[in-house]
Amino acid sequence: MEDIMLKAGIYQLEEKLKIEFNDKSLLLKAITHKSFPNENPDLSLNNNERLEFLGDSVLGLSIATKIFEDYGEMPEGGLAKMRAILVSSVTLARKARDIELSGHLLLGRGEEMTGGRKRDSILADALEAIFGAIYLDQGFEKAKRFINDFFDEDIELVKTGEYNKDFKTVLQEYVQQNSDKRPEYKIIEELGPDHNKEFKMEVLLNGERLGKGSGSTKKGAEQKAAKSALINLGEIEGRDGG
């Protein structure tokens, strides 16, 4: 079992999640796609489908409680729309990529060869399974706090209508049409104490700065830098305030 945990990078994943599991086999199960035990029956591993079922409910209740409490004036329709966006497979896959979850997944060889590691549905299901694993390992309150922190910036972006404006993806697609290189994001400066950080970020292509931006999280600063780059490139309208 230890060899499989090392193969999946369980300890590194715990560091990314900032959670130490009491029962690490739960986290291992959460990242095990059904194709892996099917091809490796001798390992006696269970897949993540049951945990994904549980994590879906933990996620939904956590998000619903958070937005219900934070947005007391919002009508039911608005709350339902926010929740639908936040718990969608597209959002979950995006969040999974933010923590590079794909590198930890246990997939069968066939699934691996057909691009399963990049598939939205597999990434989303694994992330929901992780929520279920946290709930079983540490209880609902800890799982809810983790989910609320994990989605904190996303919730605010959905509320302001900015969430679907994924400037990093738009910039990536633009660059791919014109170059075989990838945009590179670098931190210029970190300001403030740990509980109130501000990150200043720049985005580069072939060593040339395309744009810069700042935010309270690294991901937020990257989005601002990507938006700045798109403005500078003439792809979107706006003022580069980076």
Catalytic residue among 56, 111, 137, 202: 56
CA-to-CA distance for 103 and 97, rounded, in angstroms? 9
Residue 192, number of CB atoms within 10 A of its CB:
10
Quick check: is 208 catalytic? no
Quick check: is 152 catalytic? no
Q: Which of 221, 152, 161 is nearest to 186 (CA)?
A: 221
CB 45 within 8 A of CB 35: no
Answer yes or no: is 128 a known binding residue: yes
Catalytic residue among 14, 39, 76, 128: 128
Enumerate helices (H) and strands (E) in the chain, giving the number of each. 13, 3
Answer yes or no: is 76 a known binding residue: no
Answer yes or no: is 2 a known binding residue: no
Q: What phi and psi values does residue 191 have, to the nearest 5 degrees?
A: -120, 150
Residues tagged active-site: 56, 128
| Bind-site residues for Mg(2+) | 52, 125, 128
| Bind-site residues | 52, 125, 128
